[in-house]
Chains A and B, each alone.
Chain A
Amino acid sequence: MKRIILIIPFVLTLIVSGFLLFYLLQDKDPKKPPSALLNEDIPKIEIPDLFNEKNFLTNVDFKDKLILVNFFASWCAPCKVEHPLFFKIKEDHPSLFIIGVDYKDLKNDALDYLKKDGNPYNFVGYDKQGLIGLEFGVFGLPETFLINKKGKIIYKHLGPLDKKIIENDIYPLLN
């Protein structure tokens, strides 16, 4: 009995250290807080079309489709860096439905931006007040979400995409 009691603090220290080590080795980046919506259903939304605000994209349109949602804005410099990559994604995966959501932007600025840099999106939504972004937990641009055919968010990337991220993280999920 005496021996067991003497061993208890040592065992507890081992357990605590084990937990801490487990979390330390998880390769967590403090600059990229985990998304609350990862592996969750997409929120209920109605996204107005940037080109015609009378048209809306709703959750029904998300059914049985692999969807990439990219939040961007004409005022966002990193968005311009990743913008050409969406043409490449579209070329490599024509069946992927790519949605661009123009976040807290002036409509004319966004239209000019897409006219000048091209429009790689299948649908461009307009989130004037950031309410759609709020539903997706967006807090910085650009942010990209991948939604599977069951309507679950399976991947989120905070910040601009690059070739390495697309090839290593996104493409395997599309196949």
Chain B
Amino acid sequence: MIFIPYLTENFLKYFLFLLICFFIFLLSGSANAYSEKDLKKITSKLRCMTCQNQSIHDSDADFSKDIKKIIVQKLENGHTEKEIIKFLVKRYGEYIVFEPQMNIKNYFLWFFPFVILAISLIFLIFRIKKN
């Protein structure tokens, strides 16, 4: 009975210490995992400018390594995916992204299939009505 409070006090201290360590580990672990996931997501959307149609994520070229480093720095500084892609497009042009961006130059590319579809539907409705 005398021994128990002594053990309990030490045990509580030890337990508290472990708990803090666990939370620190958990927080750092989750932050890295998030960054890795984010890094993969962003780098998969970017083209390695010095490779044959490879993404920055898949490439081990020096250029890709440099861009990965820059993206990691930007992620650590709290930049969003949109901001990072905008930063790179400003310097390397739209060629660095696999998916064409939604801007005035690409409206034709994005919307023309829908225009064709709409016209085809009108044409089809007109034909059906006639028949």
Contacts and interface: CB of A to CB of B under 8 A. Distances in A.
A122 to B, nearest CB: 25
Interface string A125-153: 00000100011110110000000000000
Nearest to A34: B93
A126 B77 CA distance: 26
Interface residues of B toward A: which range? 10 to 19
A33 interface: yes
A36 B91 contact: yes
B82 interface: no
Given A19-B108, A33-B95, A139-B50, A8 B89 contact: no
B37 interface: no
Nearest to B93: A36
Interface residues of A, number: 19
Given A9-B123, A34-B93, A35-B93, A140 B70 contact: no
Nearest to A43: B91
Given A9-B123, A33-B49, A130-B66, A137 B116 contact: no
Given A139-B50, A139-B63, A5 B91 contact: no
Interface string A1-42: 000010011001000100100000000000001111100000
A134 B87 CA distance: 10
A12 B123 contact: no
13 contacts: A5-B122, A8-B119, A9-B123, A12-B116, A19-B108, A33-B93, A34-B95, A36-B92, A130-B66, A134-B70, A135-B91, A136-B91, A140-B63
